[in-house]
Chain A
């Protein structure tokens, strides 16, 4: 499994990348939506994109719309990871084609559980 982490904060990218690697993902990073699109257009294929909303150049919502406009990228699972937390914003992101929505702040467990819901990580048998 390969994941693309899109966030203008390198701190946040490091945190998310750390969690994803511990779950067995290979990771790529982009600092805004445009950089992320460039990666996809260059032929890099990913299973998951974790997407911040507020970023310079191209924001996360614009990125989601752009990805959904390409049939060849329809298998990419899109999860917003953002501090935008109004009810209406979550509705907008889901309507644009995001599959999941994680609100900052989050814990590592919260990322794992969202990816389990999305079928990208197995449910562990925990005692």
Chain B
């Protein structure tokens, strides 16, 4: 089975127009594997036939399903570990201070099925944040947001980078799945959001997690996204990117700061408005 190049181009254009995510040539396997279940469910022989039918008479819902199938990413808990250590050991203790009472506001952008915001809540569970943690977790994919809200994960998902002590402390078995403790869920608000729209409610944020998202965008879109994040973050707040990502060469308003063994970005004081 090989995907027709015409099919790939159409799907890539659709996904780009709806999500700004760029599916480069070479990602044909991704289109094929993600859309095969949709094609079978629709009774079509293969992805090419499914896409032909969609182009002829696709509903808004069906097109949305295609975009969602291709923008859902497999995510693991505590991905790369270091950002969560930077958060718990450096950023949040500084924000809490000895006498502070202000809430700690964190935005987990493009949170997918919720592993990142729940990891944030678990990483901070032992700090004296009682009631002060406010996490806003957003994604443009409605389907993954519903999964994230449910706080329910399969055995395979809890196997992915979740330390066993955290699993037993914060999860309970629910049939074949595991369910996260309600106490952790109450600190998180999930909302649908496109990174090219105005920032979500709940800011300005002390910390923004925008991890392993920029890698999917072209340069102009990366710049647009970072410009919007600047408006969502409070002066002195931190931006945490994925291990392979940087603001350098994209948006000069940020400066890199070291946070223990890891690093993050802050709005440059010399130019910040």
Chain A residues in contact with chain B, CB under 8 A? 85-87, 90-91, 94, 98-103, 105-107, 109-110, 113-114, 116-117, 123-127
CB contact between A107 and one of B156, B167, B171 (< 8 Å): that residue: B156
B19 at the interface (CB under 8 A from A): no
Q: Contacts of A106 on B, CB cut-off 8 Å? A: 156, 159
List the B residue with the shortest CB-CB distance to A92. Answer: B168
Across the interface, do A123 and B164 meet the contact criterion of CB distance under 8 Å? no
Across the interface, do A109 and B243 meet the contact criterion of CB distance under 8 Å? no
Report the stretch among B30-38, B64-72, B77-85, B144-152 that lies at the interface. B77-85
User: How close is A6's CB to chain B, nearest CB, in angstroms?
Assistant: 18
Q: With A90-B164, A116-B161, A126-B243 known to touch, is A85 a contact of B81 (CB < 8 Å)?
A: no
User: How close is B113's CB to chain A, nearest CB, in angstroms?
Assistant: 16
List the A residue with the shortest CB-CB distance to B77. Answer: A113
Across the interface, do B173 and A123 meet the contact criterion of CB distance under 8 Å? no
Interface size class of B (residues with CB under 8 A): 20 to 34
Across the interface, do B163 and A127 meet the contact criterion of CB distance under 8 Å? no
A-B contact pairs, 18 of them (CB 8 A): A85-B173, A87-B168, A87-B171, A90-B164, A90-B167, A94-B164, A98-B164, A100-B163, A103-B158, A109-B76, A110-B156, A110-B159, A110-B161, A113-B160, A113-B161, A117-B163, A125-B244, A127-B215
Please name 14 further chain A to chain B contacts, defined as beta carbons within 8 Å, in addition to the given A105-B155, A127-B215, sorted by A numbering: A94-B168, A98-B164, A99-B164, A101-B164, A102-B159, A103-B158, A106-B156, A106-B159, A107-B156, A110-B159, A114-B159, A117-B78, A123-B81, A126-B244
Q: With A90-B164, A90-B168, A94-B164 known to touch, is A123 a contact of B80 (CB < 8 Å)?
A: yes
User: How close is B176's CB to chain A, nearest CB, in angstroms?
Assistant: 9
CB contact between A116 and one of B81, B155, B167, B244 (< 8 Å): that residue: B81
Q: With A103-B159, A105-B156, A123-B243 known to touch, is A87 a contact of B172 (CB < 8 Å)?
A: yes
Across the interface, do A100 and B155 meet the contact criterion of CB distance under 8 Å? no
List the A residue with the shortest CB-CB distance to B244. Answer: A127
List the B residue with the shortest CB-CB distance to A116. Answer: B81
Q: How far is the CA of A109 from the CA of B211 in the complex (A)?
A: 19
List the B residue with the shortest CB-CB distance to A110. Answer: B159
B26 at the interface (CB under 8 A from A): no
Across the interface, do B163 and A109 meet the contact criterion of CB distance under 8 Å? no
Across the interface, do A94 and B165 meet the contact criterion of CB distance under 8 Å? yes
Q: Contacts of B168 on A, CB cut-off 8 Å? A: 87, 90-91, 94
Q: Contacts of A90 on B, CB cut-off 8 Å? A: 164, 167-168
Q: Contacts of A103 on B, CB cut-off 8 Å? A: 155, 158-159
Query: Within residues 50 to 93 of chain B, which ones have a CB less than 8 A from any CB in chain A?
Result: 76, 78, 80-82
List the A residue with the shortest CB-CB distance to B158. Answer: A103
Q: With A85-B155, A107-B156 known to touch, is A114 a contact of B82 (CB < 8 Å)?
A: no
